[in-house]
Amino acid sequence: MTSRRKSLNSGNPGAALVAAEAAFTRGLYAVAIFVVVLLTAILVTLLIGSRESLGTIGLGFLYGKTWDPVSSEFGALPFLVGTLLTSFLALGISLPFSIAIAVFLGEYFREGALSSFLRSAIDLLAGIPSVIYGFWGLFVLVPLVRSLQLKLGVPPFGVGILTSSLVLSIMIVPYSAALGREVIQLVPSDLKEAALSMGATRSEVIWKVVLPYARSGIFAGVLLSLGRALGETMAVTMVIGNSNFLPRGIFSPANTMASLIANEFAEATEPLYVSSLVEIGLLLFIVTTLVNIIGRQIIKRTAVEV
Amino acid sequence: MESEVLKVEKFGAYFGDTQILKYINLSIPENMVTAIMGPSGCGKTTLIRCVNRMHELITGARVEGRILLCGEDVYKTNPILVRRKVGMVFQKPNPFPTMSIYDNVIAGYKLNGIRLGRGELDRIVEESLQRAALWDEVKDSVHRKGTFLSGGQQQRLCIARALAMNPEVLLLDEPTSALDPKATSRIEELIIELKEYVTIVLVTHNIAQAARVSDLTAFLYLGELVEFGPSEKLFTVPEDKRTEEYLTGKFG
């Protein structure tokens, strides 16, 4: 029987289609793998660069409290502490503000001129070069902190952990606020309606329905801003005091890993000195990665299954 | 008629300049199921959302006339207090995904900051779930999240959540429109059982459903109350021509 229908294979564009599809897929694979290769290459470079200090100083690098290039003594603890302290303090200071902004823009003022003005103002905060934050911190925050220190009777350095945390907290607000706003906007309105229909007030809906639902997304924003705070270099270096001793409190001048590298890399001549600075970089890399992995686990655990 | 729980008087509702409801008069008696039926867009959902003052949450919404709940004008009462006395169940089951089944049932108390003892809460949870015919299915997992339940179970959980507040009236806004036939008939049976405890207003576009479960039926068309009366009468010998046309499928 001859069919009036054409064969499925007639004109056969099949082979070309399949080839194009395969090429496309291969292209995607290549790009994805390239990113991994890049990441590995950075890690390997850091490892090779810090070979000398890894071999000479060993694990003592991690808990050594002294950083003295003149006597070739290199310990990373002051900077590890300085980095974690400034970042988490900044996070603590910024969190109430960024959540408040996220709720305000995600729940109260979603539309209108005021809302879009505020949104772009906050996005603008993220776009300001960090050296400008450093300047502002130096001219405005340092005198403020100094007068606070005078009132409290502590040495009036002005610069130090608290000052850097304040600068950092302003710098990271846009990251957590923007993501927080987005996830708060995504909270299904039928859940809010259900709560309202039971006699909840608007603030009760926010505390008991919206924030619990959005918590994992809010945390993702916090993580993003923490990553930013850990690695921030310029603004911190300008207001932290660059003191290579273990900080004694939030008023004490200190130094962070990123800031130390930026300050000392150009003047490092001894191979062990250079290698130790690279190892500081490796440590920063590891800390950032660890924070990310832990954060991701928390996000996964707090995510709302629907 | 017996004592009326809800009385709608000369009631109109608007969104901006659009009039959604026109001069509605309606008396809803205690412990009965009253169905509000009509084609899409006729204002039936708006009508029940005016009862618990949810309508006004949308900007541009406005009402005129009175709605009396147990003799008190809801528009002269704090909406928060009105909503605590009026339970509502929505088209799509919407249990709170962040809360356990237990916490979902007592969500009304938690949201309103009302503190009760553990024993009292346990009693409310068990009683509400039992009334919503869900207790036997979930009694061993009340402290798990409610998200693993089926759609029909989730909707019964929402009914339990509304019943837990001991409302005067339970408003059901097309509660079965997102459910399969089996879950739908469970909910319909439940509605009939529940009128022993609470007065029910059921919004539905499903004529057969209104006929199956309701004692009284109101037919709403283009924002107007066309006909209101005992369901048997309305479904067999409707007075208005539009009701008859709707029932025989000429429009809607």
ipTM: 0.90
Give residue A46's pLDDT: 95
CATH architecture entry for B4-94+169-247: 3-Layer(aba) Sandwich (3.40)
Task: State chain B's mean pLDDT as an integer.
Answer: 92
Distance of CA A256 to the CA centre of its chain: 15
Give residue A136's pLDDT: 95
CB of B115 within 8 Å of a chain A CB? The answer is: no
In our burial notation (b when 16+ CB lie closer than 10 A, e otherwise), range A270-302 reads eebbbbbbbbbbbbbbebbeebeeebeeebeee
Indicate the pLDDT class of residue A2, thresholds 50, 70 and 90: low
CB of A304 within 8 Å of a chain B CB? The answer is: yes
pLDDT beyond 70 at A1 = no
User: B13: which strand partners?
Assistant: B21, B63
Indicate the pLDDT class of residue A302, thresholds 50, 70 and 90: confident
> With pLDDT > 70 as the criterion, what percentage of chain A qualifies?
95
Give residue B1's pLDDT: 44
Cβ separation B110–A213 shorter than 8 A? no
- State the Cα–Cα distance between residues A106 and A182, nearest whole angstrom: 7
Q: Pick from A198, A210, A302 the residue to mutate for testing the B interface (most B CBs within 10 Å).
A: A198
Q: Pick from B111, B124, B157, B159 the residue to mutate for testing the A interface (most A CBs within 10 Å).
A: B111
Lowest pLDDT segment from A109-113, A141-145, A162-166: A109-113
Provide the shortest C-alpha distance from residue A217 to chain B (in Å): 14
Residues B74 and B67 sit within 8 Å (Cβ to Cβ):
yes
Q: Encoding tokens for residue A169?
A: 């907290």
Cβ separation A305–B83 shorter than 8 A? no
Which of A92-96, A152-156, B112-116 is predicted most confidently? A92-96
Which helix (H) or strand (E) is B226 found in, with range?
A: strand B224-230
The domain locations on chain B are 4-94+169-247
Provide the shortest C-alpha distance from residue A201 to chain B (in Å): 7
Cβ separation A193–B94 shorter than 8 A? yes
Q: Number of A:B CB contacts under 8 A?
A: 74
CB of A11 within 8 Å of a chain B CB? The answer is: no
The domain locations on chain A are 2-49, 60-302
Range 17-56 of B in CB contact (< 8 A) with A: 52, 54
A-chain residues near B96 (CB < 8 A): 191, 194-195, 209, 213
Provide the shortest C-alpha distance from residue A292 to chain B (in Å): 24
Give residue B97's pLDDT: 92
A-chain residues near B124 (CB < 8 A): none
| Domain A60-302 homologous superfamily, CATH | MetI-like (1.10.3720.10)
What is the β-pairing status of strands B169-173 and B199-204? parallel
> With pLDDT > 90 as the criterion, what percentage of chain B qualifies?
81
Residues B4 and B12 sit within 8 Å (Cβ to Cβ):
no
pLDDT tens track for B105-154: 999 999 988 899 999 999 999 999 999 999 999 999 999 988 889 999 99
B-chain residues near A201 (CB < 8 A): 80
pLDDT tens track for A236-257: 999 999 999 999 888 999 999 9
